[in-house]
Amino acid sequence: MIDHVYVSVTDIEKSLAFYIAALKPLGWREFGKYDSASGPDNVPDLFGVGDDIYVSGTGVGSSIWLRQRQPGETGLYVGIVCDSNDAVDAAYRAAIDAGGLDDGVPADRTYFAPGYYAGNVADFDGNRIEFVHKAWNPAR
């Protein structure tokens, strides 16, 4: 299951209004902003739009996070749900063994939330995958 996707946009306000309006009929809504000042330098400001399940925390849902596109930036960022920290480690290792590039070794990412554990890889074209286990998600 896809947990989240980062979409790099040129105009945050315009794009946020678009995604909120387009996804509202599906029960999605704006639910927050991640302020990059509270995390590492490589994590930008993020603006979240999520489905009802994701926003309410009642199950494993999906979200889109908008981020300001940087000059020359391309590619996609997709967060994939993992059922445990061990599953994050295994997926990360398999991706590296398959030729992926390290984009962040598996570790706790408490700057997002306590219990957020993730590992990041990039493919040959710069697309990035985050394998993520959120301790608060119910078992699937």
pLDDT digits (tens, 9 = 90+) for 13-68: 998 998 898 779 778 999 989 988 888 888 889 999 999 998 998 888 899 999 89
Are 41 and 91 found together in one domain?
A: no
Q: Could you say which of 73, 89, 116 is where a domain stops? A: 73
The per-residue pLDDT for 63 is 92
Are 95 and 60 found together in one domain?
A: no
CATH of the domain at 100: 3.10.180.10
Q: Return the SS3 of 89.
A: helix
Please report, rounded to a whole number, the percentage of residues in the chain having pLDDT higher than 70: 99
> What is the C-alpha separation between 55 and 10, in angstroms, rounded?
25
Are 97 and 68 found together in one domain?
A: no
Average pLDDT (61-84) is 86
Model's pTM, two decimal places?
0.74
Q: Could you say which of 22, 54, 73 is where a domain stops? A: 73
Please report, rounded to a whole number, the percentage of residues in the chain having pLDDT higher than 90: 46
Are 45 and 69 found together in one domain?
A: yes
Are 81 and 66 found together in one domain?
A: no
Residue 41 burial (10 A CB sphere; 0-12, 13-18, 19+): exposed
Residue numbers of the domain that contains 61: 1-73
Question: Which residues, 6+ apart, have CB-to-CB distance to 16 below 8 Å?
Answer: 30, 47, 49, 66
